[in-house]
């Protein structure tokens, strides 16, 4: 279905009636503007800032360049997807890797410029990498996964030559430069805004984009919308066809669905499985399985009841997996329960040996220190309520049979990341994590290592720490790799700090647009989008 200019302008009035903040956006022809809606809240324009949430990653993706990017392939179930197996140039024109794998030398594109017209130099790349490894938290840990830990590893040899020196060769180093975190910032502008208390200009970059990417943010109304305007000087890839992209925050899934079904907006991003299933015969819907991604029930080991292994196993056997999968996922995605106890391969995500068995659940509870149960809070994010709420209600009902009284707590999406991942203060909660670099050891690095961001269960196991460190940079064809990975699986599926539920799909409904491409970071890459009329 295409959208004519007349239809776009007419339906724009209807949108403005339901979304007051849209009144300030002048109407443009459909070929000039695409409008997308999402229930996610963008809480910062700076991915490196502490507490920046997943929705905000789209700013780094669309407004900044990285040295390299991933290629493109056909996606399972139709459409396009990033290709993890292919690394392509973005800001770098070329690169070479030394024979020992320890030195990577990048040549920058000589015509690359920032959005203020100044030349992108290797000094900008070094400053940006120094920032990424120094700000701490998620960005620095992500850089560490690729072997990038210290500013002394980075050198600007001349204006167009940038060198990285690794402590050891790693299968993750080059792919890690294609994720959103190592984005290149206009260091001259950033330094002008820096202070002694804020040497990395985080307050300025929180509200301004100063990159060389395909788009720049010209308007951000927190909690309402972000407006992307094309940067015509972009050399990181083919110049986007669409001049302006408006990403509007629409918390109601029902409203998102109605808007895209009527053609009032072009894209409804990350819609619930129910809506995806019901919209599939009306508009174009892409449902792409998310690699290395798991919806899980997490038990925080800092809270005494969840330190008891029998309590954790009791809950694992009490969970009504199939009922949750149907109520929350509408059967879309891949079940992760009811598998074999023996671990014979290194596929991940994988089915656990647990399945709903109330008798086993009660046996484990009776053996625990809490045979009569306890009171707790089961926390969910309002941004993810479409799957978390039905799952939480079914879990609440199931654990009540064990004497566990779990009050469901709804945390606003803008605060969720801080509560669950940064402060790790939620005793019992639903969580979702997808590893950007598609190996099981990378998932473990983030979700099971002590202190790392997505280890919201505060889990610590000394053997898992050691095995993860050993396998993270190990080649997958190393004869020691698979046995170590299998042992890691055995430990965490016995300890159960997080109980896998299912592997989700990312659902995107399209009406009047083309060019959507799925990415592992689960945010909208607006650069390849185009109007269906073009």
Ordered by where they begin, the domains of the chain are: 1-37+213-290+505-534 (3.40.190.10), 65-202 (3.90.76.10), 293-503 (3.10.105.10)
Q: Which of 500, 5, 466, 36 is nearest to 267 (CA)?
A: 36
Which stretch of DSSP H or E encloses residue 110? Answer: none
Q: Is 142 helix (H, G, I), strand (E, B) or coil?
A: helix
Spatial distance between the Cα atoms of 484 and 470, rounded to a whole number of angstroms? 8
Question: DSSP character for 243?
Answer: S
User: Any alpha helices (H) in 307-368, and if so which ranges?
Assistant: 309-318, 321-329, 358-367
Q: Give residue 534's pLDDT band: very low, low, confident or very high (50, 70, 90).
A: low
User: At which residue do the structure tokens 């300030």 appear?
Assistant: 24
Alpha-carbon Rg of the chain, whole angstroms?
Answer: 23
Query: Are the beta carbons of 190 and 46 closer than 8 angstroms?
Result: no
Evaluate if residue 362 carries a pLDDT over 90.
Answer: yes
H helix and E strand count, the chain: 17, 22
Q: What share of the chain is helix, strand, coil (3-state, %, to 5)?
A: 35, 25, 45
> How far is residue 79 CA from its own chain's centroid?
20
pLDDT band (50, 70, 90) for residue 9: very low
Asked whether 258 and 14 are in contact (CB, 8 A), the reply is no
The answer to whether residue 8 scores a pLDDT higher than 50 is no
Q: Which residues pair with residue 217 across a beta bridge?
A: 228
Residue 476 and residue 255: Cα distance in Å, rounded?
45
Phi-psi region of 51 (alpha: psi -120 to 50; beta: other; left: phi over 0): left
pLDDT in tens, 65-105: 999 999 999 998 778 999 999 999 999 999 999 999 999 99
Give the Cα separation of 274 and 45 in Å (integer): 31
- Read off the pTM: 0.82
pLDDT tier, 352 (very low <50, low <70, confident <90, very high otherwise): very high
DSSP conformation class of 481: H
Nearest in space to 113 (alpha carbons), one of 258, 210, 47: 210
330 vs 2: CA distance, rounded Å: 29
* C-alpha to C-alpha distance for 378 and 358, rounded to whole angstroms: 20
User: To 5 degrees, how large is the angle CA 222–CA 223–CA 229?
Assistant: 55
> Measured between alpha carbons, how far is 16 from 228 in angstroms, rounded to an integer?
19
Can you tell me the distance from the alpha carbon of 177 to that of 174, in angstroms, rounded to the nearest whole number?
5
Q: What is the pLDDT of residues 190-205, one digit of tens each?
A: 999 999 999 999 999 9
Per-residue confidence band for 363, with pLDDT thresholds at 50, 70 and 90 = very high
Given a cut of 90, is residue 2 above it in pLDDT? no
Nearest residue to 186 (alpha-carbon basis) of 276, 85, 138, 115:
115
């Amino acid at each position: 279905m295409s959208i004519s200019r007349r239809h776009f302008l007419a339906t724009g009035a209807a949108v403005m009636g339901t979304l007051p903040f849209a009144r300030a956006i002048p109407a443009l022809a459909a070929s000039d503007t695409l409008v997308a809606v999402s229930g996610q809240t963008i809480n910062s324009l700076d991915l490196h800032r502490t507490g920046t949430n997943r929705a905000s990653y789209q700013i780094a993706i669309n407004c900044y360049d990285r040295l390299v990017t991933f290629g493109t392939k056909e996606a399972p179930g139709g459409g396009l997807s990033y290709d993890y197996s292919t690394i392509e140039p973005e800001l770098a024109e070329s690169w070479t890797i030394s024979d020992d794998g320890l030195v990577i030398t990048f040549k920058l594109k000589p015509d690359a410029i920032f959005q203020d017209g100044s030349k992108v130099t290797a000094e900008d790349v070094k400053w940006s990498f120094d920032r990424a490894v120094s700000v701490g938290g998620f960005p620095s840990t992500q850089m560490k996964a690729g072997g990038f830990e210290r500013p002394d590893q980075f050198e600007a040899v001349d204006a167009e030559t940038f060198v990285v020196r690794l402590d050891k060769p790693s299968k993750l180093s080059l792919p890690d430069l294609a994720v959103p975190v190592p984005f290149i910032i206009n260091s001259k502008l950033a330094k002008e805004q820096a202070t002694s208390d804020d040497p990395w200009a985080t307050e300025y970059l929180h509200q301004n984009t100063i990159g060389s990417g395909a788009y720049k943010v010209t308007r951000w109304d927190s909690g309402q919308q972000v407006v992307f305007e094309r940067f015509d000087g972009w050399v990181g890839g083919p110049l986007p066809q669409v001049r302006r992209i408006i990403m509007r925050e629409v918390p109601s899934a029902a409203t998102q669905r109605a808007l895209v079904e009527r053609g009032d907006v072009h894209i409804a991003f990350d819609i619930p499985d129910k809506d995806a299933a019901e919209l599939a015969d009306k508009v174009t819907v892409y449902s792409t399985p998310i690699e290395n991604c798991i919806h899980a029930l997490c038990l925080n080991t800092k809270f005494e009841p969840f330190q008891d292994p029998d309590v954790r196993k009791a809950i694992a056997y009490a969970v009504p997996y199939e009922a949750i999968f149907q109520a929350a996922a509408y059967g879309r995605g891949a079940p992760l329960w009811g598998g074999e106890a023996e671990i014979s391969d290194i596929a991940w995500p994988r089915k656990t040996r647990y399945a709903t068995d109330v008798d086993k659940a009660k046996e484990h509870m009776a053996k625990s220190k809490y045979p009569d149960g306890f009171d707790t809070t089961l926390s969910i994010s309002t941004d993810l309520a479409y799957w978390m709420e039905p799952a939480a209600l079914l879990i609440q009902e199931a654990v009540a049979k064990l004497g566990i009284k779990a009050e469901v707590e709804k945390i606003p999406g803008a605060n969720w990341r801080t509560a669950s991942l940064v402060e790790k203060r939620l005793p019992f909660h639903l969580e979702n994590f997808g590893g950007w670099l598609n190996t099981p050891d990378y998932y473990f690095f983030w979700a099971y290592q002590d202190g790392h961001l997505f280890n919201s269960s505060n889990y610590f196991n000394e053997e898992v720490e050691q095995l993860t460190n050993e396998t993270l940079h190990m080649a997958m064809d190393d004869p020691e790799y698979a046995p170590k990975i299998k042992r890691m699986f055995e430990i965490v599926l016995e300890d159960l700090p997080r109980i896998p539920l299912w592997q989700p799909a990312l659902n995107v409904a399209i009406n009047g647009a083309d060019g959507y491409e799925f990415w592992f970071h689960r945010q909208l890459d607006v650069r390849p989008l185009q109007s269906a009329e073009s």
